[in-house]
Structure 1
Amino acid sequence: MDYRLGEVARAAGHRLHVHDRLGSTNTEALARARAGETGPLWVAAHAQAAGRGRRGNAWASTPGNLTASVLWPVAGVEPERVAGLGFVAGVALADALDEACGTADDCPGGDAARRFRLKWPNDVLAGGRKLAGILLEAETLPGGRRAVAIGFGVNVAAVPEGFSDVAASLAGLGHAADAGTVLATLTNKLAAAVRIWDRGRGFLEIRERWLARASGLGSRIAVRSGVETLHGVFEEIDEGGRLVILAPDGARRTVTAGEVHFGTAATAA
């Protein structure tokens, strides 16, 4: 498998380090930042021993799947705008999957099986099952410099063992794209999406693109955050990237973090 940058990303000054095996590509990216690297630097690994998702959950590494992170420069970005990079990454990844996998007419099973949707805050779904996850991690370095790593895990070749009922893979959906193709396309799409984001000044356009792919928009939803579970209708994400729920009592409530459930799972949550 040949990991490479796309032409747009190379022209924008992105660089790529490829490893046979790492504990975590996000950890490696942040270690590079502590050593003085500013980015944009991509770190990809053929195998990952200690991958992680949100809330400290493990992210399994399966041969043929994509595991990569990008160290993104945030000098001059207002701290409250940095979280918007998670939505930039989601839009870029969904666009990359569209391009890498071809048009809906090329997809076995038709559009419903292949449409890539975004689940707040950081998952990509295919056919209602998790296809990819994104992890944004920030660190304040000595001297006050900030570093941000955006990690991508995509089930390209296979679903990790034990997750076949809730996860999907590109190969399982009938797509022939390999991890190298997905990464090259992703680097291009991220370079383009970051230009739109424009250090947070263009977040509203990113927000509209994200909402156009939002899973469960306008439907009943439950969000579990700590010991509290909120029920209602998923209305939108606001200008800060927070989930907005229309509660049964007519009040609008915003959520900054939590586990989202749709449909019958929302009722049971």
Structure 2
Amino acid sequence: MALARAGEAGPLWIAARRQEAGRGRRGNVWDSVPGNLAASVLWPATGIEPEQLATLGFVAGGALTEALGAACGTAPDVTEAGAERPFRLKWPNDVLIGSAKLAGILLETETLPGRRRAVVIGFGVNVAGVPATQIDRAASLAGSGYVTDAGALLAHLSDRFAAVASAWDRGRGFAGIRQRWLARAAGLGGPIAVETGTVTLRGRFDGIDEGGRLVIHAPDDTRHTVTAGEVHFGTAATAA
């Protein structure tokens, strides 16, 4: 973002071999270990409306799952019908292996002088290992039996992000991106609880709407849309 303030327009990728002050959504800390992927992309955003720009996070999620499939040899786009995809997307910004978190994505925007707008999308992926603070609820590629490294994954990610962003077409192609995201969505059709900070909404996860908002079908047959919150699935939804 500092480079954007200095005039850099992007696209520009920056990756770190070591990250000392990682952060996640809603002020959470993101810890990394040597060998994991910590990378951010500065993407051109001037002229894109904020509501369209928000859907770029779904581009990031789709690109990352495709890159993971390519780097790990699982080819998620040609998975046989009915077969479980190894990498699933958890709204709004996580990638899972099973029920464990593998990766997080953080999208940040800033309006700059001259009405320029910058967006930076950060990717943190547990490639080589899981931080000690997350050992009970996170997963790594190496620990799950996948053989790759951060450099190879970044090469696939930069290619896939460019391709998916082209299909997104500055927000005009979000309908197609939405369908691709739903095909990889974790917990779709099952019980869900979302903590919004003030209330907890429970019901059935009915997907995302045309703006990327999470849709909950409540027990009283009403529908709720959520723009931000902590998501729990299955038995965790009951306990949340």
Tell me if TM exceeds 0.5. yes
Which residue of 210, 213, 218 maps to 1:242? 213
Letter paired with 1:187: S
Which residue of 48, 60, 84 maps to 1:77? 48
Which residue of 222, 226, 230 maps to 1:251? 222
Aligned 1:1-150 pairs, distance under 5 A: 30-103=1-74, 115-150=86-121
Counterparts of 2:91 and 2:49 in 1: how far apart (Å)?
A: 22
Consecutive unaligned residues of structure 2, counting only runs of 5 or more, are 77-82
How much has 1:231 moved relative to structure 2?
Answer: 0.2
Counterparts of 2:181 and 2:226 in 1: how far apart (Å)?
A: 17
How much has 1:203 moved relative to structure 2?
Answer: 0.2
Counterparts of 1:64 and 1:258 in 2: how far apart (Å)?
A: 30
Deviation sequence 1:89-126 (CA, Å, 0-9, x none): 00000000001001379xxxxx75x7100000000000
Whether 1:230 and 2:201 are equivalent positions in the alignment is yes
Secondary structure (helix, strand or coil) at the match of 1:47 reads coil
Letter paired with 1:99: A
Letter paired with 1:176: V
Counterparts of 1:58 and 1:200 in 2: how far apart (Å)?
A: 29
How much has 1:175 moved relative to structure 2?
Answer: 0.9
Alignment check: 8 A CA contact 2:41 2:120 kept: yes
- The two structures, once aligned, show a CA RMSD in angstroms of 1.3
Secondary structure (helix, strand or coil) at the match of 1:72 reads strand
Q: Give me the TM-score of the superposition, normalised by structure 2.
A: 0.95
Letter paired with 1:229: T
The percent identity for this pair of structures is 70
Alignment check: 8 A CA contact 2:107 2:121 kept: yes
Deviation sequence 1:8-58 (CA, Å, 0-9, x none): xxxxxxxxxxxxxxxxxxxxxx00000100000001111111110000111
Letter paired with 2:58: F
Deviation sequence 1:66-99 (CA, Å, 0-9, x none): 0000000012212210011100000000000001
Alignment check: 8 A CA contact 2:66 2:75 kept: no
Counterparts of 2:50 and 2:97 in 1: how far apart (Å)?
A: 32
In the TM superposition, structure 1's runs of 4+ consecutive aligned residues that sit over 6 Å from their partners are none
Counterparts of 1:236 and 1:89 in 2: how far apart (Å)?
A: 17
Which residue of 149, 162, 172 maps to 1:201? 172
Secondary structure (helix, strand or coil) at the match of 1:99 reads helix
Aligned 1:119-198 pairs, distance under 5 A: 119-198=90-169
Which residue of 187, 193, 217 maps to 2:188? 217
Consecutive unaligned residues of structure 1, counting only runs of 5 or more, are 1-29, 106-110
Secondary structure (helix, strand or coil) at the match of 1:200 reads coil
Whether 1:268 and 2:225 are equivalent positions in the alignment is no
